[in-house]
Structure 1
Amino acid sequence: MSELVTGLQQDHLSELVRGQELPLPALDPAHIAFILELLQRAYEGIKADHPEAVSGGEEKDINALMVHRLNHLVGDDPLASLMVRAVSRGTETMNFNASCIEKRPDIQISLTGWQHLFPLIVECKLIDRPKRKTADMYCRDGLARFIRGDYAWTNREAMMLAYVRDGASIAHHLHPFLASAMAKSPPDYSVVTLPQKCFPALPDAAKSIHGRSFFYVHETQSGNTPGNIAIWHLWVHS
């Protein structure tokens, strides 16, 4: 039975990565900045139009509103439509070794001029310390998925989006948490560089870099390492 599973896993992987050299090339920082700004615009729009959902709804409710608004923005903005093909929520994908073929990242952004099978992944989390939704949960249930190869294992970058309800910020909450993680031996969350503010136009955005704890197992690149991953953090505030 195990041989059959292994064979099926290789089948899934070989079809997904057919003809691709991994990890894929890095996205242009200008494109990253534009997408982060698009996410910020979408959030500000739904906060204005649906304040109760933003201030009190569940993460899945905000994600659904975000995806709808992002697709409308892409359709209405000629520049956005040149860069983004479509935005989806909960679309099934597989992890790095196809041991799970039903992973569902929160938001996937399919880019024009880019293989649609390898979208930009955005993992979303609520930050609300009174409800125990903290930087620890943000990293344990979000960031860790990129490090162990659940999400974005073909890519060199991914995004994390925090819906902040308690006044927390990257500088005062995520940065100290990851600094403590980095001081451990070996570092928790494979921290290579701590979050650094990346785009002045965005109130609360930063980039951190992390190692990845897996190897490629598909036949053409078996044993190769994926290298580090850049995580672009955007914290938006209710």
Structure 2
Amino acid sequence: MINAPAPAGRAVYEQLTAGVQLPLPPIPRFMLEVIAESILAAWLNIPQDQIGIADEAGLNAMMETQLNQLADQDEQFQMLVAAAVRGKETINFDGTWLEKRPDLSLILTNGVRARDFPLTIECKLIHKATKKGVSLYCNKGMKRFIDGDYGWARQESLMLAYVRDGSSIKTHLEPYLGRHFGKAHDIFCTTTLPVPTGSSAAQAISKHRRRFRYIDRAAQDDPGPIAIEHIWLDARGSN
């Protein structure tokens, strides 16, 4: 059963998207590469003795702090990102839900209504010993972009994995998506399995159809596919 937007949600959606062509124009690839490299740099600045013991919320909080320090100090990054915000509330694609909270949101410095439509980052801890694996990453993380809960106005998003058990994109994410790929009821709507990208072996991009349509919009405003940049970080730490 599909929930209908409440009057307040519909009003928020209409105000948010008034005069905005959806989806927003694609973010240039060089910008995404700078952002990805900055995330890797921010990760290196988190104390090693905390990386191996902090929970997901703690790691997200430290990532927010480090990314904001980069936004203050790194000339290239600050040209693209005004701020990183943890748990920034947002609505879903049609206003049905008013309190969606992606883990991290990057407020970009350019583009249409940048503060209203941040670049969304969803984060997941991967640790088999605590029953947190790639299934959780996909079903409770990545799928939120496909269903229009997060990042619905943009054509790109990011997923971060804090990996404590040696899992990798190649050995875990790619096979997991591959088992669904091409099937009539692929819940992840994958059109391109993860393709390595960037300077790190722990980076890849996958592409997915999206399972929603903008309300009260012309056919040309179909959301189209979303490109999801995956960055898997070694979170075993020094302990």
When normalised by structure 2's length, the TM-score is 0.92
CA distance in 2, matches of 1:70, 1:188: 32
User: C-alpha deviations, 1:203-237, integer Å up to 9, x for none?
Assistant: 310000001111111x3448952110000000011
Which residue is equivalent to 2:82?
A: 85
Structure with the bigger percentage of helix? 1
CA distance in 1, matches of 2:104, 2:37: 15
Q: How far 1:39 sits from its partner (Å)? A: 0.6
**Quick check: 1:216–1:225 contact (8 Å CA) kept in 2?**
yes
Matches within 5 A, 1:102-141: 102-114=99-111, 115-141=114-140
> Which consecutive unaligned segments of at least 5 residues does structure 1 have?
none
CA distance in 1, matches of 2:33, 2:221: 30
RMSD, matched Cα: 1.6
**Quick check: 1:87–1:110 contact (8 Å CA) kept in 2?**
yes
Taking a change above 3 Å as real, the CA distance of residues 41 and 150 of structure 1, as seen in their structure-2 partners, is: same
> Which consecutive unaligned segments of at least 5 residues does structure 2 have?
none
CA distance in 1, matches of 2:52, 2:182: 35
Once superposed, which parts of structure 1, at least 4 consecutive aligned residues long, lie more than 6 Å away?
none
**Quick check: 2:22–2:222 contact (8 Å CA) kept in 1?**
no
Q: What SS does the corresponding residue of 1:56 show, helix, strand or coil?
A: coil
Which residue is equivalent to 2:143?
A: 144
- What is the identity, as a one-letter code, of the residue corresponding to 2:121? V
Among candidates 86, 92, 96, match of residue 95 of structure 1: 92
Q: What SS does the corresponding residue of 1:21 show, helix, strand or coil?
A: coil
Which residue is equivalent to 1:192?
A: 191
- Does 1:24 find its partner at 2:24? yes
**Quick check: 2:5–2:95 contact (8 Å CA) kept in 1?**
no
Q: Larger relative CO (CA 8 A, sep 6+): 1 or 2?
A: 2
User: C-alpha deviations, 1:159-206, integer Å up to 9, x for none?
Assistant: 00000111111011100000001143222311111000011x123100
CA distance in 2, matches of 1:206, 1:223: 29
Q: How far 1:70 sits from its partner (Å)? A: 0.5
For these two proteins, the number of residue pairs brought into alignment is 230
When normalised by structure 1's length, the TM-score is 0.92
Q: What SS does the corresponding residue of 1:189 show, helix, strand or coil?
A: coil
Matches within 5 A, 1:1-238: 6-46=6-46, 49=47, 51-114=48-111, 115-199=114-198, 201-217=199-215, 219-221=216-218, 224-238=221-235
